[in-house]
Amino acid sequence: MFTAARVSAARTAAGKRSFATAVTEAANGVKVAAVEKASSAPTASLTVLVKAGSRFESKEGVANALKNFAFKSTAKRTALGTVRESDLYGGVLSSSLGREHLALSAEFLKGDEAYFLDVLASFITSAKFTRHEFSEYVAPVIESDTAAAAASPAIQAIELAHNIAFRQGLGASLYPPSHPNFGLSDIQDYAHSVFTQGNIAVIGTGIEQAKLAELVSKAFAQASSAAGPTSPASKYFGGENRVAGNGPQTAFIGFGTTGAPSAEAAALAAYLSPAPSVKWSQGVSPIAAALPQGSSVQSVYLPYSDASLVGVLVQGHSAAAVKEAGKVVVDAVKKAAAGASAEEVATAVAKAKFAAASAADARAGIVDAIGAKIFSGSDASIASALAAFDAVDASAFSKAASSLIASKPTYVAVGDLGALPYADELGL
């Protein structure tokens, strides 16, 4: 115990040193956050985060199309020029879409930040959206995104779960429908409405705050200063949905809340996760020991700025295995609400805290962890996000779990509809 306390104190001191994040606003209203990294790290990264996720989209799938349009021709360079020039600098460009944010990222060697910020900013300020690039490069990628989502029962289950849990806003899918109803002009209009100065944040790692702020105020000077689109505050509904599908039999059992995401919900997801800490061994979670052969359970924790969804994804080769595993999961959730033991809660909190800290080591994790906080203006340092875990004890955990399961559960089954269980058969 004494040693553990000492280790924990040492860890806290180390945490304070390397996770400082200062958020300032550049002269033009673009938010700038420089996340401190070990000064010996040879690489730096830049992420331009735009509030342009699927919850803001004007037509189904437009946000995904805009993501796939990233790094195509702009007034400054063509698509080919962007690729070849970035090759010469040795950087990696990527774009990714979430339900709330569109992230355009560049990872590169320290010292090349001026060039890569210019690449990212020129898409925001002067993308050309040519018709031939849409039909030759973008449309096939949109189609393959849709096909990939349709081929994965897990993705289908999560998308449907969001839809019945939140309906509008967060309920919008990340993937376009198979016969999209938008054209190039819709993408252009959407880009025009979301690429505004107040809607953009730039997150840098391995770059000094002052230098980054100076580059950003120059790069985004020409961006529009209009207000971006808004989405109504999320409401949680819950419900049940079943769709036929190929592949492994899949069920999603989840619970949602509104309001800022809490450390308790993350701890509940960690509590439910049967993943062992040592590879090829059996985990210690209450679920792990009781799972039937041929079934797998993954815990899912999806926090958003004003809501979160906690649950598990149950998959199996046969619907019977899914049914049995589903019952185990529901029992475990009920047990957590009734009152889990202090040791179990401590284990779950440590697991959740490590998962959060380890995700924040990489660029994508940093963006997920602090993205929403930068826009809301709350404390965006990763240290404060980790500190919230220290306040979770057994009673707070059980209270959070019981308030979660008091709401209507979100249940989705994808696969053999004749055999997959209904929510009431699992005891929900």
Partner 1 sequence: MVFGPLSVSLAPYIQSSKTLSKWVTPVANWYANASRYRQYGFKYDDLVMEETPSVQRALDRLTLRETYDRAYRLKRASQASVLHKPLEKDQWTKSEEDVRYLTPHISNVVAEDAERQKWDTILVKKN
Q: Return residues touching partner 1 (CB under 8 A).
A: 78, 80-81, 84, 88, 131-132
**Shortest distance (Å) from residue 181 CB to partner 1:** 17
Residue among 13 and 88 whose Cβ is closer to partner 1 = 88
The answer for residues whose C-beta is within 8 angstroms of residue 382's C-beta and 6 or more apart is 19, 21, 35, 357, 360, 366, 369, 370
The token duo for 70 is 């990233």
**Shortest distance (Å) from residue 81 CB to partner 1:** 6
265 burial class (0-12, 13-18, 19+ CB within 10 angstroms)?
Answer: buried
DSSP string, 300-357: EEEE-SSEEEEEEEEEESSHHHHHHHHHHHHHHHHHHHHH--HHHHHHHHHHHHHHHH
Residue among 87 and 208 whose Cβ is closer to partner 1 = 87
Residue among 17 and 131 whose Cβ is closer to partner 1 = 131
Question: Helix, strand, coil % (nearest 5) of the chain?
Answer: 50, 20, 30
The answer for residues whose C-beta is within 8 angstroms of residue 88's C-beta and 6 or more apart is none
Residue among 81 and 177 whose Cβ is closer to partner 1 = 81
Residue among 136 and 379 whose Cβ is closer to partner 1 = 136
Q: Judge contact between 315 and 364, C-beta under 8 A.
A: no
Residue among 83 and 244 whose Cβ is closer to partner 1 = 83
Place of tokens 């949602």: 256
**Shortest distance (Å) from residue 114 CB to partner 1:** 15
Residue among 109 and 320 whose Cβ is closer to partner 1 = 109
Residue among 86 and 308 whose Cβ is closer to partner 1 = 86
Helix axis angle for 394-406 and 319-339, nearest 10°, is: 130
**Shortest distance (Å) from residue 132 CB to partner 1:** 4
3 state DSSP class of 283: coil
**Shortest distance (Å) from residue 100 CB to partner 1:** 35
Instruction: Count CA atoms closer than 13 A to 243's CA, side-chain side.
Output: 17
Place of tokens 């994040």: 21
**Shortest distance (Å) from residue 118 CB to partner 1:** 18
**Shortest distance (Å) from residue 43 CB to partner 1:** 19
The answer for residues whose C-beta is within 8 angstroms of residue 2's C-beta and 6 or more apart is none
What angle (nearest 5°) sits at the alpha carbon of residue 263, between those of residues 257 and 266? 75
**Shortest distance (Å) from residue 397 CB to partner 1:** 57
**Shortest distance (Å) from residue 143 CB to partner 1:** 18
Residue among 132 and 279 whose Cβ is closer to partner 1 = 132
Q: Which pairing describes strands 410-415 and 239-244: parallel, antiparallel, or unpaired?
A: parallel
